[in-house]
């Protein structure tokens, strides 16, 4: 029997925000609103808001479908029409949802796009995904902003200039054409000022696990925390209100010496502190999380919660230079960083958050995250002497989540961590 846990005010507020967002989306056509399909990493949600358009995130629809046990059928339907087993399961879930009437995870029809906005940020699949959407939605204009990969580990003035030119020459003109509105830079600056405030707040939130015990789980609970900042609320007063409330609640937990809240209540003892690389599994999300909190393991930092922006490295939107700021944001996403950069970031988390171990959750169909993960493990193990572990499943394909296999691997990993702690005492 599932235990009912009292929800914090911030949880209730976020639920209301998302419900309102989906209602606005499903009634967009009646309201005369234009709909933009785009992606989470490096998204230009502030620019979309500046034209009073509504964003839709196909990968969010996919993960929500996974959590509601709907993705498996969508994936099989996509495979029936020729999509390979090796293709990103977000893509297959999205295509399967579309050919079944585009009924979203909450049971309401998702409106067709008026614009396909592709902000390529390190994941080649996004490009092929939108090629397919372009065929499935014939006649819908496509705007692409190509984000230079940080091959040398830094952003140059030439890279920013290259992206700003794309915004001016392609993206903004198409947004003007679709929305019927002219680009308003002052309006965008106001939106970016809210975004900056939101980014500062969420950075403070994800630094709180430096406390012992950690007041939050920065991976399983963290994916809820990043929802508003990554999915259409960044740049709004509602997001600022939500993160202020969330931060207040977390600070209160710190003062009371409380650990994270799990689906079955408060964790009473923090036995292990972990840093995790890779996205979570969505089809068995609750069962997956339970494997950790039942063993007293808290994730104090994770790479996935930085997929929409590495604010802990200092990036904040700069309203005074709006287009340059948007360009730099796109380049500051985790998936756009090279392997040495990612290793450096993970080292920082392991050391600063006093982690006992490092765990990779590898995703079968996600090359963007999975490429290089074994090299990461070995480098971190050799350089820091930190115990490392490896588990594997998938994003939204239930066929690739093996509870017993993951449980066995995790038990072995935690036994190793226990032995390490005993030796060090």
347-401 pLDDT, tens digit each: 999 999 999 999 999 998 888 888 889 999 999 999 999 999 999 999 999 999 9
Q: 88-131: per-residue pLDDT in tens?
A: 999 999 999 999 999 988 888 999 999 999 887 767 788 888 88
Q: Determine the 3-state secondary structure of 301 from DSSP.
A: strand
- Checking if the pLDDT of 6 tops 60, the result is no
Rounded to 5°, the CA angle 221-226-227 comes to: 100
Phi-psi region at 265: left, alpha or beta (left = phi > 0; alpha = psi -120 to 50) = left
Q: Determine the 3-state secondary structure of 297 from DSSP.
A: strand
How high is the pLDDT of residue 29? 86
- Checking if the pLDDT of 1 tops 50, the result is no
Q: 393-417: per-residue pLDDT in tens?
A: 999 999 999 999 999 999 999 999 9
Q: How far is CA 145 from CA 39, 309, 333, in A?
A: 12, 17, 14
* Pairwise CA distance, residues 103 & 381, whole Å: 45
Average pLDDT, the chain: 92
Question: Per 3-state DSSP, what percentage of the chain is helix, strand, and coil (rounded to 5)?
Answer: 55, 10, 35
Q: How far is CA 95 from CA 82, 129, 283, in A?
A: 11, 9, 17
Q: How far is CA 241 from CA 103, 200, 256, 269, 350, in A?
A: 30, 13, 23, 31, 31
How high is the pLDDT of residue 3? 52
- Checking if the pLDDT of 248 tops 50, the result is yes
Reported as a pLDDT band with limits 50, 70 and 90, residue 17 is confident
* Pairwise CA distance, residues 383 & 277, whole Å: 17
Helix ranges restricted to H, 68-108:
71-80, 89-99
Q: What is the DSSP letter of 191?
A: H
Looking at 3.40.50.11900, 3.40.50.300, 3.30.70.1400, 2.160.20.10, the CATH number of the domain 28-425 comes to 3.40.50.11900
User: Edge-to-edge, what's the strand order for the sheet holding 297-302?
Assistant: 297-302, 272-277, 357-363, 388-393
How high is the pLDDT of residue 27? 87
Percentage of the chain modeled with pLDDT above 90: 75
Global confidence as pTM? 0.94
Nearest partner of 64 among 273, 209, 223, judged by Cα:
223
Nearest partner of 412 among 378, 375, 387, judged by Cα:
387
Is 274 in contact with 300 (CB distance < 8 Å)? yes
Lowest mean pLDDT of 11-20, 233-242, 285-294, name the range.
11-20
How high is the pLDDT of residue 7? 66
* Pairwise CA distance, residues 113 & 175, whole Å: 12
- Checking if the pLDDT of 150 tops 90, the result is no
How high is the pLDDT of residue 179? 97
- Checking if the pLDDT of 237 tops 70, the result is yes
Higher pLDDT, 24 or 117: 117
Nearest partner of 37 among 125, 122, 124, 140, judged by Cα:
140
Q: End-to-end alpha-carbon separation of the chain, Å?
A: 39
Higher pLDDT, 6 or 34: 34
How high is the pLDDT of residue 126? 82
- Checking if the pLDDT of 219 tops 80, the result is yes
| CB burial of residue 101 (10 Å; 0-12, 13-18, 19+) | exposed
Is 78 in contact with 93 (CB distance < 8 Å)? yes
How high is the pLDDT of residue 122? 67
* Pairwise CA distance, residues 367 & 90, whole Å: 12
- Checking if the pLDDT of 243 tops 80, the result is yes
Peptide bond into 213 cis (omega under 30): yes
Q: What is the DSSP letter of 167?
A: I
Reported as a pLDDT band with limits 50, 70 and 90, residue 423 is confident
Q: What is the DSSP letter of 337?
A: B
121-136 CB burial, b ≥16 within 10 A, e <16: bbbebbeebbebbbee
């Amino acid at each position: 029997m599932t235990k009912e846990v009292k929800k914090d005010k911030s949880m209730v507020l976020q639920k209301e925000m998302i419900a309102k967002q989906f209602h606005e989306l499903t009634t967009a056509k009646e309201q005369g609103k234009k709909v933009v399909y785009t992606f989470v990493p490096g998204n230009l949600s502030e620019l979309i808001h500046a034209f009073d358009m509504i964003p839709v995130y196909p990968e969010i629809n996919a993960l929500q479908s996974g959590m509601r046990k709907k993705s498996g059928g969508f994936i099989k339907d996509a495979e029936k029409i020729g999509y390979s087993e090796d293709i990103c399961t977000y893509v297959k879930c999205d295509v399967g949802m579309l050919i079944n009437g585009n009924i979203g995870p909450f049971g309401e029809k998702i409106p067709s796009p008026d614009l396909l906005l592709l902000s390529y940020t390190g994941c080649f699949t996004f490009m092929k995904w939108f090629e397919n959407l372009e065929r499935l939605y014939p006649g819908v204009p496509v705007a692409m902003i190509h984000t230079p990969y940080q091959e040398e580990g830094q952003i140059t003035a030439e890279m920013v200039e290259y992206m700003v030119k794309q915004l001016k020459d392609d993206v903004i003109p198409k947004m003007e054409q679709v929305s019927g509105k002219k680009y308003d830079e002052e309006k965008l600056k106001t939106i970016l000022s809210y975004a900056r405030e939101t980014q500062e707040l969420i950075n403070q939130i994800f630094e709180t696990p430096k406390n012992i015990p950690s007041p939050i789980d920065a991976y399983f609970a963290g994916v809820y925390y990043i929802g508003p900042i990554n999915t259409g609320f960044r740049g709004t007063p509602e997001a600022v209100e939500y993160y202020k409330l969330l931060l207040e609640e977390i600070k209160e937990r710190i003062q009371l010496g409380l650990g994270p809240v799990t689906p079955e209540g408060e964790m009473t003892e923090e036995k292990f502190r972990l840093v995790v690389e890779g996205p979570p599994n969505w089809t068995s999300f609750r069962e997956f999380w339970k494997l950790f909190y039942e063993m007293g393991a808290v994730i104090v930092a994770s790479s996935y919660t930085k997929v929409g922006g590495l604010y802990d490295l200092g990036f904040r939107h700069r309203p005074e230079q709006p287009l340059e700021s948007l360009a730099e944001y796109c380049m500051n996403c985790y998936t756009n960083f090279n392997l040495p950069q990612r290793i450096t970031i993970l080292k920082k988390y392991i050391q600063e958050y006093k982690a006992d171990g490092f765990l990779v959750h590898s995703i079968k169909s996600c090359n963007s995250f999975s490429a290089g993960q074994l090299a990461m493990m070995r480098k971190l193990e050799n350089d820091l002497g930190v115990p490392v572990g490896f588990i594997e499943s998938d994003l939204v394909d239930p066929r690739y989540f093996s509870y017993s296999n993951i449980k066995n691997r995790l038990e072995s990993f935690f036994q190793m961590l226990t032995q390490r702690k005993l030796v060090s005492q």
